Structure 1
Amino acid sequence: MTYHVRVMDMPSEERPRERLLHYGARTLSTAELLAILMGTGQGPGKLSAVGLGQLILQELSRDQRDALDTLRTVSAHDLMQISGVGAAKATTILAAIELGRRVLQSKPADRAVVDDPAVAAAALSADLMWQSQERFAVLLLDIKHRILGIRVITIGTATETLAHPRDIFREVIRHGAVRCIVAHNHPSGNLEPSADDLSLTQQLLEGAKILGIPVLDHLILGNGDFRSLRQSTNLWQEEE
């Protein structure tokens, strides 16, 4: 005889796993997803895994912070300051975050064709999107706009980075690329280009004409979004 058990009849600490199997991961709350990573309940008199997940989110949202934004950059040390989270649970959570980031930001195939700024932004996200320091990178392309590679040129402080056209074009030439897209991140999430951003872009466009290596765009990434300077400024038209 087969007994069918409804999900709602299961003990609370077991429901997240069963609900994921029955209905998919998207139906679970963030606390329940954390509960699955941390295993079963914590024992008599202690929080269940779901309760611990809720506690983690509560601690991460202190000082009016967004818990998921904090979770993106949380450290093992920070997690281990929360009651009930030891080294094993902290490392499991961090591993899951990194795995999710890599899956989300991976290219669908090698030598993907960049035919839209969003494709370039997705390819660059792993190196730029959620970094706490400014980074400047170049996306290397062949003549058909297929991705040959990505190179991070410089890493700056929390508020600025330095990149020189000489260093950028050196990487492009060294790797045999004939097209490129440059990009950097704004850790603040403000995608408005600075005067320095616009000045560097203009220098790159001037150098591109001399070297015969088109710079197709300059992207600014941050907080899950991006801005294309080619689409939002007149710099490319001015160089024609």
Structure 2
Amino acid sequence: MTYCLRIADLPENERPRERLMTHGAKILATAELIAILLGTGQGPGKLSAVGLGQHILQELGKNQRDPLGALREVTPAELMEIHGVGSAKATTILAAIELGKRVFLSRPADGTVIDSPLAAAATLSQDLMWQSQERFAVVLLDVKNRFLGTKVITIGTATETLASPRDIFREVIRHGATRMIIAHNHPSGNLEPSEADIELTKQLLSGALVLNIPLLDHLILGNGTHQSLREITTLWDDCPQED
């Protein structure tokens, strides 16, 4: 569907800004988020701001490119090649993208308590979130779950990475950590754990008990979101760790 109707002509409860204020940004489509940045429409057929947002995504998605992936790396020249996008709209979009990257990729300070899967994922977003190859990493924590740092253990292919329990525990012990969270990314964006992911987690949970280095979670990251195996499996019930 292409929007040519002006946003001002929409019922107030259907306008992107009003919907964001009422329900939060997560419910908005990507084109609606872009529309808020654009403010006004233009482009082919005098599109509304939402319609122009859709048009931008369609243009960036040509040649079988992922529109959001293309948007993350787009240049000012590429944006301004799109009919209806001038320098003002291009710079507004680029500034928003860069701000989002900086917020998302910022790491917590040493000593920050990591008390949720979201907090753990934030420490790894720079290393794992949008990588084109699978990477396996560990979040290093002290006895009070305070952040000590992260370490990428292995880098694999576009579809798989290899990490052995021996390599993982060696790095944890070498850095003086007493608790850990492991994580890897799925470049495809599919966050469902594989059989290999489950089996490795079982091995690490057993090893963590022997070494008295609790494994608090195993996260899968990709395309701006994450999945906690502790939340979606019974592995920690089967092999309880010290919290």
Q: Is the partner of 2:226 in helix, strand or coil?
A: strand
Aligned to 1:74: 73
Give the root-mean-square deviation of aligned CA atoms: 4.4
Give the letter aligned to residue 110 of structure 2: D
Q: Deviations over 1:189-238 (max 9, x none)?
A: 11111000011111111111121111111011112221111121111222
Q: Deviations over 1:38-94 (max 9, x none)?
A: xxxxxxxxxxxx9x9998644312257653x12355376x9499589xxxxx9x988
Aligned to 2:133: 133
Unmatched 5+ stretches in structure 1? 1-25, 36-49, 85-89
Aligned to 1:231: 231
* 1:35-46 equivalence runs, <5 A: none
Query: Distance in 2 between the 1:169 and 1:72 partners?
Result: 38
Aligned to 1:212: 212
Count of residues in Structure 1 that have an aligned counterpart in Structure 2 = 217
Unmatched 5+ stretches in structure 2? 1-24, 26-30, 39-48, 84-89
* 1:74-153 equivalence runs, <5 A: 74=73, 79=78, 97-98=97-98, 100-107=100-107, 109-153=109-153
On the 8 A contact 1:34/1:53 being kept in 2, the answer is no
* Structure with the greater alpha carbon radius of gyration: 1
Q: Is the partner of 1:213 in helix, strand or coil?
A: coil
On the 8 A contact 2:110/2:149 being kept in 1, the answer is no
Query: Distance in 2 between the 1:65 and 1:220 partners?
Result: 23
Give the letter aligned to residue 176 of structure 1: G
Query: Distance in 1 between the 2:210 and 2:99 partners?
Result: 42
Q: Deviations over 1:162-183 (max 9, x none)?
A: 1111111111111110000000
CA shift, 1:33, in A, is: 9.1
Query: Distance in 2 between the 1:157 and 1:75 partners?
Result: 25
Change over 3 Å in CA distance of 1:31–1:97 after alignment to 2 = closer
CA shift, 1:104, in A, is: 2.4
Query: Distance in 1 between the 2:121 and 2:34 partners?
Result: 30
Query: Distance in 2 between the 1:133 and 1:56 partners?
Result: 27
Query: Distance in 1 between the 2:98 and 2:73 partners?
Result: 11
Aligned to 2:179: 179
CA shift, 1:113, in A, is: 0.5
Aligned to 1:202: 202
Once structures 1 and 2 are overlaid, which stretch shifts more, 117-126 or 196-205? 117-126
What TM-score comes out, normalization by structure 2 length? Answer: 0.67
What TM-score comes out, normalization by structure 1 length? Answer: 0.68
Aligned to 1:158: 158
Query: Distance in 1 between the 2:150 and 2:211 partners?
Result: 20
On the 8 A contact 2:104/2:125 being kept in 1, the answer is no
Give the letter aligned to residue 153 of structure 2: I
On the 8 A contact 1:102/1:126 being kept in 2, the answer is no
Give the letter aligned to residue 179 of structure 1: R
Q: What is the identity percentage for the equivalent residue pairs of Structure 1 and Structure 2?
A: 63
Give the letter aligned to residue 234 of structure 1: T
